[in-house]
Amino acid sequence: MSEEHVEDVIEGMLRQSLAAGSQLAEQVVRARQQYLRNAAQQSEQAAIESQRTLASDRAVMQSAIVPVMRDDWWETAQPEQITQAYVLAEAWKDYDPAALAASEKISSELKNRYGIDTADLQDDSVYLKDYLAMAQRAEVTMKEAKEHAEAMALVEAAQAEQINRYAAELKDELERHSVPPGYLANAEMVTALEASKEAVGTEAAPDADRAVAERMHLIEQDGINGPSLDDLRQEIGQNYSGADDAMFADAAFVATARDWHEAKTLAAGGFVDKGNTGLEARYENAEKELFARITPLGQEIQEKVLQDPNTQTSAPAGKAENPSTPAYGSQEHYEAFEASLQGTGTDAQIKGRVAAARGQATPPKAAVEAPKKAPKARKASAGAGVGRERSQSGPSR
């Protein structure tokens, strides 16, 4: 092969190599361009997603911080709302002017309203939430106390106005019975005085006047509002075993206990009627009702005392007469009563109840004989009894 032919072959091969290399370079360039285009598209998509997330976060932040700029929002804002606004405002204050303004507003309100310095929080949102909840509870309590005091002041003013009106209407009766005007805060006294006023010059006058005298005595003993629940609970407990505190949640039981107490107090003060009527009957009826209410066995005990054959006088042998019931207040009555209480309490408790029935309660006729003269209302100073007022359920009327 000649040199020329060899050169032609080499030249041809070189040309082919150059052509192949050129094609490969073009492929590499095209691949690079495609990569760059893909990278640019991905970066653009990521930027779009980032912008969307940022816009969403900003919207949440704005919805939370915009209300804090209004003073009325702070009047009802809950600890959770304030804490959320604080956290978002602190996170955004370096990037958003509105967040910066909200941060300053929150710091000011927390300082003025709750005494909280945000510089001491160190981004402790849990502490802030708990502190706000505690502060708000204290604020509500103080507000309720203030409202209650204002309401009581209004009630007292209305009561004073009502007492003045009664005092003007019942002026003559107040003077005739020497009743202090302050006693007109007692509704029963007002009723008694009105009845006395209407009964002047009639046959009902003595009874009406006596009712005023009785109410005077009760007020002097127990105060304007009468015995408190604690007083009744203690007195009933001393005289009747088995009385439970829960019973004093029953209005009917309390009314019975109060009626029993008043009858007992009036009997001790000499306000009694002859026979088995009036005060004696009132006392006995209240006592029987207390027995029935205090315990499921109360009625059984009552029946034992009054009807149990074992407590009655035995009839002579051979006679079929019905045994008689011991007279109420007789020695046999108390002996039977004590016998019926066996097993219901200690010996001291049983003796205490029997002693109370004998002496403190004084229901027997011998102890409640009416005085020859009806008691007159005792003169009392304007402040008598007022200092003994009790108020278990509110101010005196």
What is the per-residue pLDDT for 355? 60
Average pLDDT of the chain is: 74
SS (H, E, C) 84-140: HHHHHHHHHCCCCHHHHHHHHHHHHHHHHHHCCCHHHCCCCHHHHHHHHHHHHHHHH
Kindly state the average pLDDT of the residues 220-245. Answer: 84
What is the per-residue pLDDT for 135? 83
Assess whether pLDDT exceeds 60 at residue 375: no
Encode pLDDT of 310-343 as tens digits.
545 444 444 344 445 555 566 776 677 677 667 6
Encode pLDDT of 21-59 as tens digits.
667 667 766 776 777 777 777 777 777 887 888 888 888
Comparison of pLDDT for 164 and 301, the residue scoring more:
164
pTM beyond 0.75, yes or no: no
Question: What is the DSSP track for 346-368?
Answer: -HHHHHHHHHIIIIIS--SGGG-
The percentage of the chain sitting over the pLDDT mark of 70, rounded to a whole number, equals 66
**pLDDT-based confidence at residue 283 (cuts at 50, 70, 90):** confident
